[in-house]
Structure 1
Amino acid sequence: MQNSKDTKILFAAIAGHTNAGKSSLLNALIGEKIASVSPKPQTTRTRITGIRNIGETQLVFTDTPGLHRAQTKLGDKMLKAAQEAVSDIDCVIFMQDCTKPLGEQEQTMLDNLTKQKTPVIFIYNKIDLMSEKAKLAPLLAEAEARWHPRALIPVSVIKRDGVQDVLDELMQLAAPGPHYFPEDMLTDQPERVLAAELVREQLLYLLQDEVPHGIAVVTERFKEREDKDLLDVSVLIYCEKESHKRIIIGKNGAMLKKASTRARQELEKFFRIQVNLQTWVKVKEDWRNRDLLLEQFGLSQKD
Structure 2
Amino acid sequence: MNDELETGADAAALPREDFRCGLVALAGRPNVGKSTLLNALIGFRLSIVSPRPQTTRHRILGIATSEAGQILYVDTPGLHRGAKRAMNRSLNRAARAAIGEVDLAVQVIEAGRWTDEDEALYAALDEQKVPRLLAINKVDLAKDKAALLPFVAELSATHAFEAVHYVSALKRKGLEQLERDILARLPVQPPVFGEDEVTDRSERFLAAEMVREQLMLRLDQELPYATTVEIEQFSDRPDGVAEIHAVIWVERDGQKAIVIGQGGAQLKAIGTSARRIMEKTFERKVFLKLWVKVREGWVDDETALKRFGYTD
Shorter-chain TM-score bucket reads over 0.9
Shift in alpha-carbon separation, 1:149–1:126, aligned structure 2, 3 A: same
In the superposition, the TM-score normalised over structure 1's length comes to: 0.94
Q: 1:228-267: CA deviations, max 9, x gaps?
A: 1211111000011111111111111111111111100100
Q: Which amino acid letter does the alignment assign opposite residue 272 of structure 2?
A: T
Q: Which amino acid letter does the alignment assign opposite residue 285 of structure 2?
A: Q
Q: How large is the RMSD of aligned CA atoms in angstroms?
A: 1.5
SS in 2 for 1:158: coil
Shift in alpha-carbon separation, 1:290–1:269, aligned structure 2, 3 A: same
SS in 1 for 2:242: strand
Q: Which amino acid letter does the alignment assign opposite residue 13 of structure 2?
A: S
Equivalent residues in 2 for 1:1-303 (5 A)? Answer: 1=8, 2-5=11-14, 6=17, 7-69=19-81, 70-98=83-111, 100-103=113-116, 105-114=117-126, 117-226=129-238, 228-301=239-312
SS in 2 for 1:157: coil
Give the C-alpha shift of residue 21 in structure 1.
0.5
Flag structure 1 segments of 5+ consecutive residues without an equivalent.
none
> Is 2:94–2:311's contact at 8 Å kept on the other side of the alignment?
no
Provide the rounded CA distance (Å) in 1 between the counterparts of 2:128 and 2:93: 18
Provide the rounded CA distance (Å) in 2 between the counterparts of 1:142 and 1:84: 29
Give the C-alpha shift of residue 12 in structure 1.
0.3
Q: Which amino acid letter does the alignment assign opposite residue 173 of structure 1?
A: R
SS in 2 for 1:278: strand
Give the C-alpha shift of residue 134 in structure 1.
2.4
Q: Which amino acid letter does the alignment assign opposite residue 12 of structure 2?
A: N
Q: How many pairs were matched up?
A: 299
Provide the rounded CA distance (Å) in 2 between the counterparts of 1:285 and 1:18: 26
SS in 1 for 2:259: helix
Provide the rounded CA distance (Å) in 1 between the counterparts of 2:113 and 2:248: 33
Flag structure 2 segments of 5+ consecutive residues without an equivalent.
1-7
**Identical positions, percent:** 37
> Is 2:20–2:70's contact at 8 Å kept on the other side of the alignment?
yes
Provide the rounded CA distance (Å) in 1 between the counterparts of 2:235 and 2:128: 46
Provide the rounded CA distance (Å) in 1 between the counterparts of 2:310 and 2:129: 31
Q: 1:202-248: CA deviations, max 9, x gaps?
A: 1101110110011110111111111x121111100001111111111
Give the C-alpha shift of residue 112 in structure 1.
4.5
Give the C-alpha shift of residue 291 in structure 1.
0.8
SS in 2 for 1:192: helix
- Structure-1 residue corresponding to 2:4: none
> Is 1:38–1:204's contact at 8 Å kept on the other side of the alignment?
yes
Q: 1:264-297: CA deviations, max 9, x gaps?
A: 0100010000111111100111101101110111
Q: Which amino acid letter does the alignment assign opposite residue 3 of structure 1?
A: A
Give the C-alpha shift of residue 56 in structure 1.
4.7
Give the C-alpha shift of residue 101 in structure 1.
3.3
> Is 1:74–1:299's contact at 8 Å kept on the other side of the alignment?
yes
Provide the rounded CA distance (Å) in 2 between the counterparts of 1:112 and 1:245: 38
Give the C-alpha shift of residue 116 in structure 1.
5.1
Q: Comparing 188-197 with 175-184, which one deviates more in the overlay?
A: 175-184
Q: Which amino acid letter does the alignment assign opposite residue 268 of structure 2?
A: K
Q: Which amino acid letter does the alignment assign opposite residue 46 of structure 1?
A: H
Q: 1:113-134: CA deviations, max 9, x gaps?
A: 3465422110111122222222
Give the C-alpha shift of residue 46 in structure 1.
1.5
Shift in alpha-carbon separation, 1:154–1:56, aligned structure 2, 3 A: closer
- Structure-1 residue corresponding to 2:5: none
